[in-house]
């Protein structure tokens, strides 16, 4: 949900990886992708808030526009979005990843435990949950460390059905050290 890392895929700008991720939820509904890509406040102003993109997607989820295989591909979609974030913010996002050292990366949430963990009072282990976002970030940190500076970092499109944005197939995204 970290803002401040806009992404460009297929020539279109997404305010955050959450905006991009939520757009991938609706490959058959360009209207939903447009709404999530640039969510508006009640006053009609576009907001860059990652949470606003997530909340805007709920309307289209209720309308049954979510891709049928979403539950089986959502981790792959998030991994892709995080890789795009790294490719397009190599030094800045890479330094954030490195700043975590070798420690686990854990997101704490009060609601969900798929992407994060949540505190449970009275439990021996204070945080429980799958922490899939944290695991993906640790994986990405490992990739970043292993990357050879003289090699391009290429994020290939996923080989899943209907991996599209605005009705168009996704093109590879490349970072090259300058």
More confident residue, 39 or 2: 39
More confident residue, 91 or 44: 91
**Domain assignment present for 117:** no
**Domain assignment present for 11:** yes
* Tokens representing residue 82 in the block: 């995080």
**Domain assignment present for 107:** no
Q: What is the share, in percent, of the chain residues with pLDDT greater than 70?
A: 98
Average pLDDT taken over every residue of the chain:
93
Q: What does the pLDDT look like over 75-99, one tens digit per residue?
A: 999 999 999 999 999 999 999 999 9
Q: Answer whether residue 1 shows pLDDT above 70.
A: no
pLDDT of residue 41: 83
pTM beyond 0.75: yes
Q: What is the 3-state secondary structure (H, E, C) of 42-109?
A: CCCCECCCHHHHHHHHHHHHHCCCCCCCHHHHHHHHHHHHHHHHHHHCHHHHHHHHHCCCCCCCCCEC
**Domain assignment present for 147:** yes
Question: 161: closest CA among 1, 22, 28?
Answer: 28
**Domain assignment present for 145:** yes
**Domain assignment present for 15:** yes
Q: What does the pLDDT look like over 124-143, one tens digit per residue?
A: 777 888 999 999 999 999 99
- CA dihedral sign, ordered 137, 139, 145, 148: negative
- Place 178 in a pLDDT band, splitting at 50, 70 and 90: low
Domain of residue 164 covers 7-101+136-175
Compute the distance between CA of residue 157 and CA of residue 52 in angstroms, rounded to an integer: 26
Q: What does the pLDDT look like over 56-77, one tens digit per residue?
A: 999 999 999 999 999 999 999 9
**Domain assignment present for 35:** yes
Q: What does the pLDDT look like over 6-26, one tens digit per residue?
A: 999 999 999 999 999 999 999
Compute the distance between CA of residue 83 and CA of residue 19 in angstroms, rounded to an integer: 14
Q: What is the share, in percent, of the chain residues with pLDDT greater than 90?
A: 79
DSSP summary character for residue 36? H
Domain count, the chain: 1
CB environment 23-55: b (16+ within 10 A), e (fewer): bbbbbebbebbebbbbbeeeeeeebebbebbbe
Question: 35: closest CA among 9, 16, 54?
Answer: 54
- CA dihedral sign, ordered 135, 141, 142, 144: positive
CATH number at residue 52: 1.10.357
**Domain assignment present for 50:** yes
């Amino acid at each position: 949900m970290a803002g401040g890392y806009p992404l460009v895929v297929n020539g279109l700008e997404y305010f955050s990886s959450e905006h991009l991720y939520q757009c991938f939820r609706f490959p058959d509904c360009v209207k939903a992708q447009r709404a999530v890509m640039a969510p508006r406040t009640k006053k009609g102003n576009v907001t860059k808030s990652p949470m606003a993109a997530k909340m805007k997607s709920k309307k289209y989820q209720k309308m049954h526009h979510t891709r049928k295989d979403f539950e089986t591909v959502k981790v792959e979609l998030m991994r892709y979005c995080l890789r795009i974030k790294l490719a397009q913010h190599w030094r800045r996002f890479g330094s954030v990843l490195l700043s975590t050292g070798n420690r686990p990366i854990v997101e704490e949430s009060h609601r969900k435990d798929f992407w994060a963990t949540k505190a449970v009072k009275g439990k021996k282990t204070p945080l429980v949950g799958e922490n899939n976002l944290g695991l993906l970030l640790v994986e990405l940190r490992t990739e970043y460390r292993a990357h050879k500076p003289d090699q391009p970092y290429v994020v290939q499109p996923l080989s899943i059905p209907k991996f599209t944005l605005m009705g168009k197939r996704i093109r590879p995204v490349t970072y090259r050290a300058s």
